[in-house]
Amino acid sequence: MERGALEGLRIADFSRVLAGPYATMLLADLGADVVKVERPGAGDETRQWRPPADAHGTSTYFLGVNRNKRSVALDLSDETGRERARALVAASDVLVENFRPGTMERLGLGYDDLKAGHPGLVYCSISGFGTGDGAAIPGYDLLVQAVGGLMSVTGEPGGEPTKAGVALVDVITGLHATLGILAALRHRDATGEGQRVEVNLLSSLLSAMVNQASAYAVAGVVPGRMGNAHPSIAPYETFSTADRPLALAVGNDAQFAALAGVLGRPDLADDPRFRTNPQRVAHRAPLRQVLDELLRTAGADHWSAALSAAGVPAGPVNTLDEAFAFAGRLGLPGIVTVPGAGGAPESRQVACPLTLTATPARHRLPPPALGEHTAEVFGEPGRPTP
């Protein structure tokens, strides 16, 4: 069996909900031993976030971000629990936490409390709004999408500001946390020195706003809602067809000429209003009117096939089941079944999207039951003991 790229690393995971657990699941997929620390009797909040649930009543939200981990139940309000937690950290390479800033310090588990006895520790803290003036603000994805500007550019013009259909900011922050952890481990391997890694939801979102944020930073442009249209590219949005919406992502003039040819209107590529991308952006409304009329003459699947064959990025707006089926037809990772250990039920999981030729990601363990591995972790020879 292939060795995971991060095999031999242990991560003490004190995080809950999404950003932290998503980061630690990716690290676990790559071979790290992730020990998830949970509150006895309750565990990660997402265990209760249902429906939907699997056949055994377990929240699908929790199942989606906690595979390849072992769970220990520790009461951190109790000194015995804190002693066990310190022992776990002492035998770990990385600690990940996303408590409200100051909580780990009050528990005696802050970075300054631990680094003297463990100078190589990589300590990753995830917060909503940093550890300064925003420390007291709860870090919920919806709130950050609102105050961070994402909702202001999402939705129809003149309509209600709209959140993304998934907790996108948490996922982006989890990816940033993973990157920071790996960079810190690289430094530690070279110098023996650990460090604290800090990421927050708001800064992660502002960075991920890319062209929209750059438009403001560079040119002072405050963007607004444009529905599915793009502020700098046209046509780059969804269009009606004879049956369902079609997404067109025409990124250059050659692709537009190909689009015009497939639609039977090659003259559009020579129209002075549409010859170049800046001209198409300036004349977005008449361009859309022409394209709508042409695209309504056939269905989305017809246009998707014809345009893709001509090198024009196009595709129907799929439902999630259709999206997984499309990935399957392309031979891309989709859904995998992770067998249960020791008679535990198997778990259907969304596959890790990373492909590594020498050290591939592996789906080794189903998401754990609360406290399932407490005895195992604290009874292993050479590992932390109470």
Q: Answer with the one of 311, 328, 345 that is the final residue of a domain.
A: 328
- Work out the average pLDDT over 352-361: 93
Residues 167 and 286 in one domain: no
- Work out the average pLDDT over 230-251: 96
Residues 22 and 135 in one domain: yes
Residues 51 and 128 in one domain: yes
Residues 162 and 185 in one domain: yes
Residues 179 and 263 in one domain: no
Residues 157 and 132 in one domain: yes
Distance CA 55, CA 320 (A): 20
Residues in contact with 136: Cβ distance below 8 Å, sequence separation at least 6, in sequence order:
100
- Report pLDDT digits (tens) over 307-331: 999 999 999 999 999 999 999 999 9
Number of structural domains in the chain: 2
Residues 317 and 178 in one domain: no
Distance CA 168, CA 174 (A): 10
- How sure is the predictor about 256, in pLDDT bands with cuts at 50, 70 and 90? very high
170 carries an active-site annotation: yes
Distance CA 366, CA 14 (A): 19
Residues 14 and 58 in one domain: yes
Is residue 1 in some structural domain?
A: no
Residues 50 and 178 in one domain: yes
Parent domain of 272: 236-328
- Report pLDDT digits (tens) over 166-192: 999 999 999 999 999 999 999 999 999
Identified catalytic residue from 33, 75, 170, 243: 170
Residues 169 and 85 in one domain: yes
Is residue 386 in some structural domain?
A: no
- Report the predicted TM-score, pTM, of the whole model to 2 decimal places: 0.92
- Report pLDDT digits (tens) over 42-63: 999 999 999 999 988 999 999 9
- How sure is the predictor about 386, in pLDDT bands with cuts at 50, 70 and 90? very low
Is residue 16 in some structural domain?
A: yes
Q: What pLDDT was estimated at residue 381?
A: 60
The CATH number assigned to the domain holding 42 equals 3.40.50.10540
On the question of pLDDT at 383 being above 70, the answer is no
CA distances from 217 to 147, 172, 211, 222, 317 (A): 17, 21, 10, 9, 32
Q: What beta strand segments (E) does 176-228 contain?
A: 195-200
The CATH number assigned to the domain holding 272 equals 3.30.1540.10
- The pLDDT mean for the chain works out to 94
Q: Range with the lowest mean pLDDT among 145-149, 166-170, 338-342, 350-354?
A: 338-342
- How sure is the predictor about 249, in pLDDT bands with cuts at 50, 70 and 90? very high
**DSSP structure class, residue 48:** G
Kindly report the number of other CB atoms within 10 A of residue 148's CB atom.
21
If DSSP codes are grouped into helix, strand and coil, which group holds residue 329? Answer: helix
From 235, 240, 248, 227, select the one nearest 280 (Cα to Cα).
Answer: 235
Distance CA 269, CA 280 (A): 10
